[in-house]
Amino acid sequence: MKYFLILIFFILLSSNSFGYTIFLKNGKTFDAVEHKIVDGFFIMTLRNGNEIGFPIDDIDMSKTEPSIKAFEDQKKREEEAKRRRKEFEEKEKGKPKELLEFFLQEKRGMQLSFSEEEILQLIEFGERNFTSEQDFLKAYSFHNDYLPSIIYTKRLRLILYGVEKGKTKRQLNNNEIRAILEDPNLLILIVSTGDSPDALNGAEVFMKQADRVIQPFHLKVPAVGDRTINWPEAPAYYWKILVQFKYSDIDLKKEAQIVVKKGEFQKVFNIDFNYFR
């Protein structure tokens, strides 16, 4: 049911600019955005605005009609999406500017599934407040060692998707949103410092919860650290470590420790998942 709702939401958001396919009986196809039938000719408007026509008998209607119907259904869904968006905007009028705490600092546990309305709200929230990106990241940070370490929950990633949309004015990409919603892994950025450029080369990273040790699904530790503004004084180098853990391996209602270890060096980062939605 969850994925059905998500799929419907993607359909609502998608643009009708993709057009539909006209099939000829000789096997050729054309991508059209509009068509009409005049005096026995099937005249279509292509993506580039050019018109081209064929006798109606040359059109394979058994394949073309379902494509046209799908396109028309799509337009109806888009109109409904626009109506809902307008209703949402009207509802938002007159309200004070949202407090970041409302979206970011509620202590209700991590959210893994979202309704259509929540998806739209979070993306639009990020788009409207794209200048507050650092505030969003700060709200999802759990340690600060030269730069903050950040837990990229699905909620934060949807907001940041809106931030990027607000910066670039680009259109929504259904596949990118789907990738966020269906990602089975929690992405975490860990920032750690050291005094030699290869101090963390080959380091291992794992999570501990109670007596369990959880290995990452994916791990990327730069072989060489970047210089800090303090270089050559300590801390001279820092590493941005990207690690992913499967949601199914983590108890999101409990605290955990992420351990960065190399030889005798060991650094522990404490996370209380209840604080991150």
Taking only the tens place, the pLDDT of each residue in 80-129 is 767 766 765 665 554 444 545 555 545 567 889 888 888 888 898 888 88
**Domain boundary pick from 83, 115, 133:** 83
Which domain CATH number covers 73?
A: 2.30.30.100
* DSSP β-bridge partners for residue 258: 207, 269
The confidence score (pLDDT) of residue 106 equals: 52
- In this structure, is residue 10 part of a structural domain? yes
25: which 2 tokens? 């009986």
DSSP for 160-225, please give it.
HHHHHHHHH-PPP-HHHHHHHHH--EEEEEEEEEESSTTTTTT-EEEEEETTEEE--SEEE--SSP
Both ends of the chain: CA-CA distance in Å?
22
- Note whether 167 and 245 are same-domain residues: yes
What's the confidence (pLDDT) of residue 4? Answer: 39
> What integer pLDDT is reported at residue 6 of this predicted model?
40
* Separation of CA 48 from chain center: 31
- Give the per-residue pLDDT at 230: 85
Note whether 45 and 110 are same-domain residues.
no
Instruction: Characterize 70-83 residue by residue with b for buried, 16 or more Cβ atoms within 10 angstroms of its Cβ, and e for exposed.
Output: ebeebeebbeebee
Domain-embedded: residue 43: yes
Q: Which residue has the tokens 């690690």?
A: 243
246 and 146 in a single domain? The answer is: yes
Residues 122 and 76 grouped into a single domain: no
**pLDDT given at position 274:** 82
Residue 12, number of CB atoms within 10 A of its CB: 18
Domain identity same for 190 and 255: yes
| 93 found inside a domain | no
Q: Could you tell me if 231 and 164 lie in one domain? A: yes
* pTM of structure: 0.62
Low-confidence ranges of the chain (pLDDT < 70): 1-18, 81, 84-85, 87-108
CA atoms of 173 and 161, how far apart (whole Å): 10
- Rounded to 10°, the helix 154-168/116-128 angle is 50
Within-domain flag for 92: no
Amino acid making up residue 93: K
In this structure, are 79 and 127 located in the same domain?
Answer: no
Does residue 90 fall inside a structural domain? Answer: no
Expressed as residue numbers, the domain containing 40 is 2-83
Nearest CA to 145 out of 234, 216, 257 is that of 234
Does the residue 89 lie in any domain?
Answer: no
Q: Domain boundary at 49, 83, 117, which?
A: 83
Pair 16, 135 in one domain: no
**185 and 79 within one domain:** no
Q: With contact defined as beta carbons under 8 Å apart, do 46 and 52 qualify?
A: yes
Residues 162 and 77 in one domain: no
Say what the pLDDT of residue 136 is: 86
Q: Which ranges constitute the DSSP H helices of the chain?
A: 2-13, 61-92, 100-104, 116-128, 133-139, 154-168, 174-182
Domain count, the chain: 2
pLDDT score recorded for residue 212: 93
For residues 67 and 202, state if they share a domain.
Answer: no
Asked whether residue 195 is domain-assigned, the answer is yes
Same domain as 257, residue 187 = yes
Mark which of 83, 115, 148 sits at the end of a domain: 83
